[in-house]
Structure 1
């Protein structure tokens, strides 16, 4: 019989996930600026998704191993915290190096160095992600699970808001340069990554030192698991082939709800990947009116570079991507405050499906907000002049933010109760397949779709993302959640 797991105070729950704020701060900077950096370093629009392929591949490779290792790890630092700390340190190093790719031209081509740093950063973020998810499952009792993942979602989106908006603030408030020459990264982006690395590592240290994980004896007692049996299983020395067979068995026998959620995850993460890769190009073309030829590296080379006015417009569009990404994260953080109560009242499936549908319609509505009329906008911290269409994009971000909040919380809340306590980490790692796989498919196909179906008109692929998000909403209806 399981021993009663103690209820946590709000601030204890807060401390468990506080480091995720910094991890998401760094992840948001990557999502909003990696395409911009890679383009500055020489990538063509239709090749961006191939460069981004390294990110989900890192997640696919890293998370199951991290999950399995963290299930078996019990040391003075804890069970999940050693991986969170190590991942944060590596991610911070990658964030410092990536925007400085041009400094390493003596040793390596900048675009290749940039992709390598993207791989290191994303691998490191993934080392943090899974243990943070499992840490909530470990520390928070079942009766507080909706609250636990909702608080985590709030913190994630606070980090994402600040991380997304930071390059814009550094340009329009501090006065750093946001334009770049070919092969160089804008000054505002470089300093944003420096700040992001500092925040990431600092907040993770807070969680590491303010959260005390349960000792193995107490943890297994709370979860109703025979510790001696688990220890005996972990003590067995198995050849690599048998370990691989055991892993395949876990995948084959994963809980039914995980298999059903995998379909939802495929559609939703396919759409998210498109947003992260192509929003920059989409709003630069559709909202700022920049001809798509100015995203073709061969054309740019043939005319001797990008004119100053086009470079300025691309810089402004890139900054505005940070604003709208910050907006959807802000709306996600606000919605996350009410998410637990809404899920308790109406059911997780209902709220999850409705949220994804709103996100899908938000993407599709990008198509209808083209307005090149320049307007002055007071953002409290500064005033800028942008096309009216750019300002209008804040409205669809409400739906995208609601969908993002649900994606961050609902699948894990629905899944956690169906996982065996002694294998929570590895199953959370396996569940990451459902995040990485659709991004890999998207990376392999989205660039080809953009080039051969949409003739490099990026707004059309954002609409396609909307259709996939609506399909995700429909898929939720077929999930049979364990009570």
Structure 2
């Protein structure tokens, strides 16, 4: 009886709604970014070969921001504003500014800088939302909490993806000369910024976070293992980071020797940078400075639980496919399904709007599947097998782009991709949240999301070189890569043992 009284209160549907409603607005911002930034870049004069380099800002900011925000939010308490909500609010304000400024971009450089700001701000808001569900809900409600969150993600993405298409049907001009952004995109970004801010403010004012004292009463303020992590880090060889530095040097040498795309230098810099950070973190731990942010992040990254490592492998390949889709769907659909690769043509702009519709379909399917399919299926066959089956459906959807030529028929492809998207957003986090220490939920969720952004960086830096070397002018083959990576992720899902 005592244990039951010390548990967190059970949340009803209103509580689940309030906890995750802010994600509805955040996903509107992500959907506008994902469906329209390639179109914006090409409208401002970018070639298709330059798209991966321009997109590299997005995953890079996520890689840097999410672990830092996770580490900081675990250690934040601002009285009535709480632990996670200050980050929701700050990120939403900055993202709104970026969305309002994007349509006024005077050129590619300004658009790329605003994309950097937008993605960083969205990540500041998004990362604590993952931990927020774990903070606010009992363990037996984690699956329901992440399912509701996924439904809001899908619904927000539908709204964001449909904005340009809907505005055109209300008479807003969808045409633009080269170097200009269509009014449909311009007004969509402005409306999306306002919707994002209002949704996040709703969650901030309608929820109250549990204080450190209340979390202690729930028995969830246990020792976070910081001393053990620091001890393990201090015992590591000071040269542990050297292989990463060497790997970065070899990648840089390969770029120079084989004249690869220059953005691959970023991958080399990241490898070398992690090696240097590892060496510095070990020195800090040995000097007794284990409470520093760098030592904490590096120590927690190297000491991830085995279950988290297996899930990270699955996430890596799952998100590789998604980033390939976001970068390449517009040029693929324009060239192969609407017959034009010219960004100044009416057919290309029509394809851009149709991609928004396709993206709204897969997000709508995800919203429905998260509530109606995933809980039922996981109860029957387990979370890991459910995830594998959904990823196979997504692989079939990507393969369909190579077979079907009727733009309307591509909706069938989006059904499979939507089922996979629902599972990618819900299942790994539901599995993970119930197996992590509460006091480290923010940092571990931030580190877990590293495996969301790392594949995006790899795609942004390497995919361009692969396509130029083997499939020049044929972006349709990117969909084959996406299907293959999802199949790898599905096979890896069977290695995940869950207490179903």
TM-score of the superposition, structure 2-length normalised?
0.84
Deviations 1:431-482 (A, max 9, x none): 1110010100011111222222111211111121111111111110112235
Partner of residue 378, structure 1: none
- Residues 192-240 of structure 1: per-residue CA shift (max 9 Å, x gap): 000000100001010000011111111233244348999xx9xx99758
Cα drift, residue 251 of structure 1: 1.0
| 8 Å contact from structure 1 (residues 454, 461) kept in 2 | no
The alpha-carbon deviation at position 138 of structure 1 amounts to: 0.4
Q: Distance in 2 between matches of 1:85 and 1:223?
A: 28
Q: Tell me which residue corresponds to 2:357.
A: 323
Q: 1:140 to 1:186 in 2, by over 3 A?
A: same
SS of the residue aligned with 1:8? coil
Cα deviation for residue 346 of structure 1 reads 1.9
Q: What corresponds to 1:350 in structure 2?
A: 385
Equivalent of 2:487, from 434, 447, 470? 470
Instruction: Give distance in 2, aligned partners of 1:177 and 1:5.
Output: 52
The residue number in structure 2 matching 1:46 is 49
1:99 aligns with 2:103: yes
Kindly report the root-mean-square deviation, in angstroms, between the aligned alpha carbons of the 2 structures: 2.2
- Relative to structure 1, the CA distance from residue 36 to residue 11 in structure 2 (aligned partners, 3 Å threshold; closer, same or farther) is same
**1:181 is matched with which residue?**
177
**Does the 8 Å CA contact 2:220/2:439 hold for their aligned counterparts?**
no
Q: Secondary structure at the match of 2:496?
A: coil
Deviations, residues 47-82 of structure 1 (Å, cap 9, x unaligned): 101111110100010011100111011112011000
* Matches of 1:466 and 1:149, distance apart in 2: 25
Measured at CA, do residues 350 and 112 of structure 1 come closer, stay the same or move farther in structure 2, by a change above 3 Å?
same
Give ranges in structure 1 of 5+ residues lacking alignment: 103-109, 296-305, 371-388
Matched, 1:460 2:477: yes
- Name the SS of the counterpart of 1:430 in structure 2: helix
Q: Is the 8 A contact 1:265 1:434 kept in 2?
A: yes
The whole-number CA distance in structure 2 between the counterparts of 1:182 and 1:466 is 33
Q: Is the 8 A contact 2:131 2:441 kept in 1?
A: yes
Out of 179, 182, 206, the residue aligned to residue 210 of structure 1 is 206
Matches within 5 A, 1:246-325: 246-290=296-340, 292=341, 294=342, 306=344, 311-325=345-359
**CA deviation vs aligned residue, 1:331-370 (integer Å, no higher than 9, x gap):** 1111111222322232101110000110011001111111
Q: 1:309-346: CA deviations, max 9, x gaps? A: xx110110000000000000011111111222322232
Match of 1:79 among 78, 83, 93: 83
1:11 pairs with 2:45: no
Cα distance, 1:245–1:345 mapped onto 2, change above 3 Å: same
Q: How many residues align?
A: 439
Structure 1: distance between partners of 2:201 and 2:208: 13
Contact 2:224 2:437 in 1 (8 A): no
2 CA distance for matches of 1:16 and 1:289? 45
Contact 2:23 2:129 in 1 (8 A): yes
The answer to whether the aligner puts 1:367 opposite 2:399 as a matched pair is no
- Residue 195 (structure 2) aligns with: 199
SS of structure 1 residue aligned to 2:218: helix
Is residue 449 of structure 2 the alignment partner of residue 432 of structure 1? yes
- 2:295 aligned residue: 245
- 1:391 Cα deviation from its structure 2 partner: 0.5
Contact 1:223 1:421 in 2 (8 A): no
Aligned-residue offset at 1:244: 2.3
Worse-matched range after superposition: 451-460 or 321-330? 451-460
